[in-house]
Amino acid sequence: MAFKTTNTRSDLDMSQAIDKLGGQILCSSSRETIMYQSSHTHSGTPLAMDLISETVRNAAFLPEEIEAQRDAARYELREVTSKPEMYIPEVLHEVAYDNKTLGNPLLCPEDRIDLIDEPAMRAYMNNWYRPERMVLAGAGMLHEELVELADKHFSGIKYTPPPPPQASAPRTNGHQPSQIFPHSSTPPSIYKSLTRAASSYLYPTSPNIHDPTPLYNSTGTQPATYTGGHKFIKNTTSEFNHLYLAYEGVGIHDDDVYTLATMQVLLGGGGSFSAGGPGKGMYSRLYTNIP
C-alpha cells in the first residue's frame, strides 16, 4: 500500500511525482523492519522526502486499492508454494522461534488477507510508526539539509508512551509449534529481498474472521526466544526431497559473530552453481569435501 493515494495526492499524482523524481523509490519489509528508500539525483531529495512522508503519514487506504493488494498477496502465496527453497527457510524461522517474534509469518496467511482493511492498517501504523522506532538516514547530502527536511516532514509525529511490555514465554526446547503461517512483504519484486514462505494450505488453519486474536502484537517488546523443534511437510507430488537443518547462532553483538562469519566464508554454501565466485554453490567446501 506504499506510494498509493494519499490525502493530498491521487494515485495518478503519486505516480507522476515518482516518474518526475527518476531514480528508484520503493518500500520493502523484513522480519524486523519496514523501510522506505529512494535513490535519486541531488536535486530530487526534497521531492523524495515529500513522497515518503506522504505515504507514511497521510495514506488514504482506499478500499479499491486495498482490494488490489489482497489480490497481489494471494498471487504471492501461489507463487511461493512451488518453490521449496523459498519457503522452507521461513518454516525454519517459525519452528525455531515457536511462531513468535522472529518466527512470526512474513506473508499474510490466506485466510487472514480479507481481515486487512483500513482500520487495521491505521491501527498498525499508529502503534509502530512512532518517533522512537524510526531511523532516518541519508548519504550524499549535507547533514544540515537532511535535518531540515526531517524537521519539515516528520517533526509532527509526536512521541506516545508505548504500552507496558508483555511477559516473554518460557523456553521450551524440543517443542513443536502448533501453528505455522506464511509471511508478507512489499518489495518491488517478490523474489528480490526476502526468502518466501509456503502457502497457507501447507499449514494448520489460522484464526478465522470471528476470532478476537489481535492481528499483531502492538507492544513489540517481547524478546526473541529460540525454542527449536521440527516440522515435516508431506508432499507426494514433489520430485525431490528437501531437508533443512538449523541451529541457534550468535547475535550481532557477540564477539563470536566474527568467527562465525569467517567460517561461513571459508566453508561457502548454496545449492547450485552461482556466479558469485569461489566459496559458493558447487565449488564450495560444503559441497565438495563434506559428505
How does pLDDT run across 63-100, given as a tens digit for each residue? 999 999 999 999 988 888 778 888 888 889 999 999 99
Predicted confidence at residue 282, as pLDDT, reads 58
How does pLDDT run across 217-248, given as a tens digit for each residue? 555 567 889 999 999 988 888 888 888 888 88
Query: What are 114-119's contacts with CB under 8 Å, separation 24+?
Result: 114/70, 114/209, 115/209, 115/215, 116/66, 116/70, 116/215, 117/63, 117/66, 118/61, 118/63, 118/66
Least confident of 39-43, 58-62, 94-98, 178-182: 178-182
Predicted confidence at residue 217, as pLDDT, reads 52
Instruction: Report the chain's mean pLDDT, rounded to a whole number.
Output: 78
Reduced to 3 states (helix: H, G, I; strand: E, B; else coil), residue 124 is: helix
Task: Locate 68 and state its grid cell.
Answer: 488490489
Predicted confidence at residue 108, as pLDDT, reads 84
How does pLDDT run across 101-136, given as a tens digit for each residue? 899 888 888 889 999 999 999 999 988 999 999 999
Domain that includes residue 253, residue range: 247-291
Predicted confidence at residue 1, as pLDDT, reads 92
Predicted confidence at residue 196, as pLDDT, reads 29
Examine the pLDDT at 168 and tell me if it is beyond 70.
Answer: no
Confidence class for position 186, pLDDT limits 50, 70, 90: very low
DSSP string, 155-192: TTS---PPPPPPPPPPP-TTPPPS---------SSTTT
- Examine residue 113 and state whether it is found in any structural domain, yes or no: no
Q: In Å, how far are 96, 129, 217 from 172, measured between CA atoms?
A: 10, 32, 21
| Alpha-carbon gap, residue 184 to 72, rounded angstroms | 11
Q: In Å, how far are 189, 247, 260, 267 from 256, measured between CA atoms?
A: 34, 15, 6, 16
Dihedral (CA of 25, 67, 214, 94) sign: negative
- Examine residue 264 and state whether it is found in any structural domain, yes or no: yes
How does pLDDT run across 19-44, given as a tens digit for each residue? 999 889 999 988 889 999 999 999 99
Question: At residue 136, what are phi and psi to the nearest 5 degrees?
Answer: -115, 120
Predicted confidence at residue 198, as pLDDT, reads 29
| Alpha-carbon gap, residue 232 to 250, rounded angstroms | 26
Predicted confidence at residue 70, as pLDDT, reads 94
Residue 25's H or E segment, with its range, is strand 24-29
Percentage of the chain exceeding pLDDT 90: 44
Number of structural domains found in the chain: 1
| Alpha-carbon gap, residue 82 to 79, rounded angstroms | 6
Reduced to 3 states (helix: H, G, I; strand: E, B; else coil), residue 106 is: coil
- Examine residue 50 and state whether it is found in any structural domain, yes or no: no
Task: Locate 29 and state its grid cell.
Answer: 519489509
Determine the average pLDDT of the residues in 143-168: 82
Q: Which residues are CB-neighbours of 123 under 8 A, at least 6 positions away?
A: 218
Q: In Å, how far are 58, 99, 281 from 139, measured between CA atoms?
A: 25, 36, 34
- Examine residue 273 and state whether it is found in any structural domain, yes or no: yes
Residue 126's H or E segment, with its range, is helix 118-128
Predicted confidence at residue 205, as pLDDT, reads 35
- Examine residue 138 and state whether it is found in any structural domain, yes or no: no
- Examine residue 288 and state whether it is found in any structural domain, yes or no: yes
- Examine residue 214 and state whether it is found in any structural domain, yes or no: no
- Examine residue 225 and state whether it is found in any structural domain, yes or no: no
Predicted confidence at residue 221, as pLDDT, reads 62
Cell 509532527 belongs to 156
Predicted confidence at residue 195, as pLDDT, reads 31
Determine the average pLDDT of the residues in 254-267: 87
Confidence class for position 13, pLDDT limits 50, 70, 90: very high
Give the Cα-Cα-Cα angle 277, 87, 82 (nearest 5 degrees).
Answer: 95
What predicted TM-score, i.e. pTM, was given to this entire model?
A: 0.70
